[in-house]
Amino acid sequence: MTESGRTGLAGRMAAAMLHSKLTPLAILTSLLLGAYAVLALPREEEPQIVVPMVDIFIDLPGASPEEIEQRVARPVEQRAWEIPGVEYVYSTSSEGRAIVIVRFTVGEDEDRALVRLHQKLNARPNLLPPDASAPLVQARSIDNVPIMALTL
């Protein structure tokens, strides 16, 4: 209640729902409709959309995020931009680790994209500091996106 003793629209609606016998029915209906939507929703649409994405993980133990960005992330980003078909390059630098995400254009062949990326990274072994780990390249698929998130 407000200082004047009156509630607003939301307060009146909440009070009505608290004391209504229809509230459990509304909740049950919402849950059943949500379950039906999950079951009836197609999991994969046609035609299949191919958007090759690659995660590159590089560790440099003991380095600060600023050092990781300068010595690891930026050189890898620059090399990735040189690859034909690259649409976006993102990177995240944290304590001792860089993650570079390379996204290719829609429809690009995923295997060819991975080969070109490996070739570009392996062409200059001195690209990274000597104490950095070898780049761990992992392909990411659009099919790896969850179809449902539950919140309690």
Task: For 120-133, write each residue's pLDDT tens digit.
Answer: 888 887 888 888 89
- For residue 101, the SS3 value is strand
User: How many C-beta atoms lie closer than 10 Å to residue 121's C-beta?
Assistant: 21
3-class state of residue 8 by DSSP = coil
Strand partners, 99: 57, 92
Query: What percentage of the chain reaches a pLDDT higher than 90?
Result: 38
Contact present, 54 and 77 (Cβ < 8 Å): no
Give me the domain span that covers residue 80.
Answer: 53-142
Question: Per-residue pLDDT for 64 more than 60?
Answer: yes
Residue type, 151: T
Tell me what pLDDT residue 49 has.
Answer: 72
Q: Are residues 30 and 62 in the same domain?
A: no
Above 60 in pLDDT, residue 1?
no
Given the structure tokens 């133990």, which residue do they identify? Answer: 61
Name the strand (E) or helix (H) holding 96: none
Q: Is the pLDDT of residue 66 over 60?
A: yes
CA-angle at 110, arms to 106 and 114, nearest 5°: 125
Indicate the pTM of the whole model.
Answer: 0.62
Same domain, residue pair 34 and 60: no
CA 55 – CA 103 distance, rounded (Å): 9
How many domains, in total, are found in the chain? 2
Domain check: are 71 and 35 in the same one?
no
Whether residue 58 is found in the same domain as residue 99: yes
pLDDT of residue 70: 92
Bridge partners for 91 per DSSP: 100
Q: Would residue 92 count as lying in a domain?
A: yes
Q: What is the pLDDT of residue 3?
A: 54
36 with 72, same domain? Answer: no
Q: Does the pLDDT at position 145 exceed 70?
A: no
**Whether residue 71 sits in one domain with residue 32:** no
